[in-house]
Structure 1
Amino acid sequence: MTTPYDAILLVSFGGPEQEADVLPFMENVTAGRGIPRERLEEVSQHYFQFGGRSPINDQNRALKAALEELLAAEGPDLPVFFGNRNWHPLLPDTLREMREAGVRRALCFVTSAYSSYSGCRQYREDLAAARAQVGDGAPELDKLRVYYNHPGFVEPQVSIIEDALATLPEDVRDTAHLVFTTHSIPRTMSRHCDYEAQHYETCRLVADAFPGRPWQLVFNSRSGPEHVPWLEPDVNDHLEDLAGRGVRAVVVVPIGFISDHMEVIYDLDVEAAGTAQRLGLAFTRAATVGTDARFVRGIRDLILERTDGATARALGTRGPNWDVCPVDCCFTPGQDARPTVAQAEPRRRPAATT
C-alpha cells in the first residue's frame, strides 16, 4: 500500500494515573473556565475512590496495541503514537516524539465518536495548538471523521447488550428497558452541532436489533453552573421515572463512550447503580466497545478511506460524516475562534453506504 501518511496518532482526553496527578489534571481540564477550586476538589474525590487512577490511559494503550497489531498484519503498516489533550502523554510531547522519529504527516483518530465542540472541534484546536508549540518540523495532522454510525462502532453494541441482558434475573430480563447514556453538554453547544441527532441515530440503529424493547437516550456527567441549561434527562432522574412507572429492570448502555473512563465507572457504576438499588430496579451496565475486534477493524476502515480511497461505510440513512470538517463546524457563538487542523469549506457528505 502506498500512502501520504507516515503514522497514526491516537488522540484522547487523558486522565490521572496517581493521586498526585488528580488536581493538576482537573486544572488542565477546566483551565480558563473559572471553576472554583472547591468544585475541583469535590470532583477529585471521584478519582480518589479509585486510587487516583483513571482507567482511560490504560485502555487507550490497549487500543493502541490492538490497532498496531492489526495494521502490521493487514496494512497500512504505520506506527501508532498516543497523545492526550489534558494529561500525559500530552500532545506536544507526542508530536516532538513523532518529529524525532521522522514522521512528517499523520492521521489522527480521536476517541470521540460524535460531533460537538468538546468532542471534535476542540480536539482539532488542541492539535493545531500542539503543532504551533512544537514549531518547525511538527508533523502535519489530518483528523479522521466521526464514526457514530460506522458498523465497527454500532454492531459490537448489540452483542454487548445481549451479554448484559443475560446477567439480569430471568424474571425481569424480557421487560428490561435499554437506557442509552452519554455525556451531557450545554444546550448552547448542542444547538450548533449534530451531537443529539447522531446519538439518536446510533441508539436507533442498535435498538433495531431488539424489536419491541423500550429504550431512551439520557445524559450523565452534567457540570457547570446550575443556571446554564444542559441536555436532559439525567440518567438518575430517568431511573426515578422508570421506577415510578413500574419498570423492574434496566440495562444502562454508555453509548457515548468508547472506554470505561471516570464518567462511566463513577457516574454510572457508582451513582446510577446506587440510584437503581435505592429504587429496587434490577440494574446492569453494558460494556463499552474498548478493544473489540470489530471496533479496531472499524478504525482501520477509517484509515483506509484516507490512505487508499476506500468506500466510506455507514449504517442507516445519514451516511458517513465529513472527512474534512467545514470551517464553521461545531463552533459555538461567543467562543474565541482558534485555529484548527483539517479545515475546509462546507461541502456535502459522501453518499451513504452499508
Structure 2
Amino acid sequence: MALRAPLGLSRRALPAQITKYAASQQQSMATVVPPVTQDNTGSKGPTAMVFMNMGGPSTTAEVGDFLSRLFADGDLIPLGRLQNYLGPLISKRRTPKIQKQYAAIGGGSPIRKWSEYQSSEMCKILDKISPETAPHKPYVAFRYAAPLTEEMYQTLFDDGFGNGRGGRAVAFTQYPQYSCSTTGSSLNELWKWRQRLETKRAGNEVDEAGAITWSVIDRWPTHAGLVEAFAQNIEAKLLEYPEETRKDVVLLFSAHSLPMSVVNRGDPYPAEVAATVYAVQQRLGFKNAHRLVWQSQVGPSAWLGAQTSDTVTNFVKRGQKDLILIPIAFTSDHIETLFEVDQEIIHEANELGAEGRVKRADSLNGSPVFIQGLAELARDHLASGSVGSKQLGLRCPGCTSQKCLETKKFFMKQEALL
C-alpha cells in the first residue's frame, strides 16, 4: 500500500502553497504596506507577541482536519516510519468520537477565544510597563488548528512586519513547561514557514536582511505569576470543602502525558512539570498532600504514568473522596479539562460513590493575576536582550532529529540580531 502525506495539504500541494504565499508577499510589497505604527515612546517597537499553542477545533466540522494535523506530527505522536500511513488512519477512525466530545462541551474548543483574549490583554499591560518596545501587537499561532502558523505569518506581513521591512517578534510558548512534543514542535513549524516565506525560496523580491528578528520565551515553569495564579485557584476551590476536612483534601496535579520513548530520550517536560508543582505547593505552604499524575494517553504504547483516571478511581475506592484536580500544564480550558476531566473522570468518580467531592480547580483562562504575570514575563524577556533561555539551544541527549537541530541553530543565531 502506497504511503501518503497525512497533512491537510499533500506533499504535491506544498509547492502550490509556497507559490500562494510568495505571490501574496509580492502583492504586499507592490502596495507598499507601511510598518506597524510606532508611538512616540517606543524607541525599540513595534513588537509582535506571538502566542504559540496546540490549538483546538472551534467547531465540530474542524475536528477532522485538526486530528489529521495532530497525528501527522511525529514530534507529538511518534509513529515511526509508518507515520504517513497510521496518522491519517487513526485520525479518520477517531474523528466521529472526538466530534461527539466537542459537541458535549459546546460545539468546539474555547482555546482560541482564551488565547486571543490573553494575548490582547497582555499587550495592553505590556504597552504600559515596557513603553520602549511598544506598541505590542498580539498574534496567535496554533499548531493544529486555525490560525495556523503560516496564517499568522501572513498576518505579520499584512501588518508591516518582515517581507523586507524587518521588525521584531517574540514567539511566546503557552506551554509553560518545555517539551520537544509541544514547544519544540511549534518552534520547528515556525522555523519551517520562516524558511519558506522569508528566504529566497519565497521569491526574488524577498530581502532576507529585512526578515523578522525572532526571540523565544520557551519555558516558564516556575514564574511567579503562573505559580500565584494556580495557587489562588486552588485556594478558591479548597474553600468549597468543610473547614474541618479541608486539610485532608488531596491535590492531584494533572498534566498531559508523554510517550515513554520521548521521556527516555531526555525530554525535559516531566522535570519542568514537577518544578511547577513544587513551586505551587511551596506557595501554598504544603498544607495538603499531593501527587503529580498524567492524562490523555493515546494508543497502546507505554506512556508516562500514573494515569489521572486510574489514580482518581483508586483513591475513591480506598475511601479518599476529597480530591482536587489541577490542570497544571494548561493555560486555559480545552477538551482535556472540559470533557476528559469534568465529564469523564469526575463523572466516573461520582458513580463510584465520590458524592461530588472530587472537584477541579478552575483553569487560568481570564485570570488577571495570570495575565499580569504574562506581561511581566514578556517585559523581562524583552529587556534581557536574550534570544531565549539557556536551555533553548540544548538538544535532548537522545535526539536524532535534523529538523530540531536546524531550528535550534536558527534561533540561537537570532541573538546576534537583537
Give the TM-score, by structure 2 length. Answer: 0.73
Q: 2:281 and 2:237 mapped to 1: Cα distance? A: 14
- Structure of larger gyration radius: 2
Structure 1 residue corresponding to 2:353, chosen from 280, 303, 310: 280
Task: Give the direction of change, closer, same or farther, for the CA distance of 1:267–1:335 in structure 2 (3 Å limit).
Answer: farther
Structure 2 residue corresponding to 1:71, chosen from 126, 146, 150: 126
Alignment of 1:337 onto 2:400:
no
State the structure with bigger RCO (CA 8 A, min sep 6), 1 or 2. Answer: 1
How far residue 109 of structure 1 moved from its aligned partner, in angstroms, is 0.8
Secondary structure at the aligned position of 1:117 is classed as: coil
Q: 2:359 and 2:311 mapped to 1: Cα distance? A: 15
Q: 1:120 and 1:331 mapped to 2: Cα distance? A: 17
How far residue 215 of structure 1 moved from its aligned partner, in angstroms, is 0.3
How far residue 269 of structure 1 moved from its aligned partner, in angstroms, is 0.8
Task: Give the direction of change, closer, same or farther, for the CA distance of 1:304–1:331 in structure 2 (3 Å limit).
Answer: farther
2:186 corresponds in structure 1 to 123
Task: Give the direction of change, closer, same or farther, for the CA distance of 1:198–1:324 in structure 2 (3 Å limit).
Answer: closer
Which runs of no fewer than 5 residues in structure 2 stay unpaired? 1-41, 74-82, 162-166, 199-205, 414-418
1:165 corresponds in structure 2 to 238
Q: 2:298 and 2:402 mapped to 1: Cα distance? A: 21
Structure 1 residue corresponding to 2:58, chosen from 10, 13, 17: 17
Contact 1:187 / 1:229 at 8 angstroms: preserved in 2?
Answer: yes
Q: Which moved more, 1:91-100 or 1:177-186?
A: 91-100
Secondary structure at the aligned position of 2:139 is classed as: strand
Q: CA RMSD in A?
A: 2.4
Contact 1:3 / 1:307 at 8 angstroms: preserved in 2?
Answer: no
How far residue 120 of structure 1 moved from its aligned partner, in angstroms, is 1.8
Query: Can you list the C-alpha shifts for 1:297-350, whole angstroms capped at 9, x where unaligned?
Result: 22223322332228x9xxxxxxxx82561152x4764656353265449xxxxx
1:197 corresponds in structure 2 to 271
Structure 1 residue corresponding to 2:229, chosen from 156, 162, 172: 156
Task: Give the direction of change, closer, same or farther, for the CA distance of 1:184–1:95 in structure 2 (3 Å limit).
Answer: same
2:140 corresponds in structure 1 to 82
Q: Which moved more, 1:233-242 or 1:336-345?
A: 336-345
Which runs of no fewer than 5 residues in structure 1 stay unpaired? 313-320, 346-354
The 5 A counterparts of 1:1-354 are 2-3=43-44, 6-31=47-72, 33=83, 34-35=86-87, 36=90, 37-75=92-130, 76-77=133-134, 78-103=136-161, 104-135=167-198, 136=206, 139-170=212-243, 172-191=245-264, 192-208=266-282, 209-224=284-299, 226=300, 228-281=301-354, 282-309=357-384, 322=389, 325-328=392-395, 330=396, 333=399, 335=401, 337-338=403-404, 339-340=406-407, 343-344=411-412
Query: Percent same amino acid among aligned pairs?
Result: 23
Q: Which structure carries more helix by proportion? A: 2
Contact 2:105 / 2:339 at 8 angstroms: preserved in 1?
Answer: no
1:351 corresponds in structure 2 to none
Q: 1:155 and 1:21 mapped to 2: Cα distance? A: 35
Task: Give the direction of change, closer, same or farther, for the CA distance of 1:325–1:82 in structure 2 (3 Å limit).
Answer: same
How far residue 254 of structure 1 moved from its aligned partner, in angstroms, is 0.5
Q: 2:359 and 2:402 mapped to 1: Cα distance? A: 42
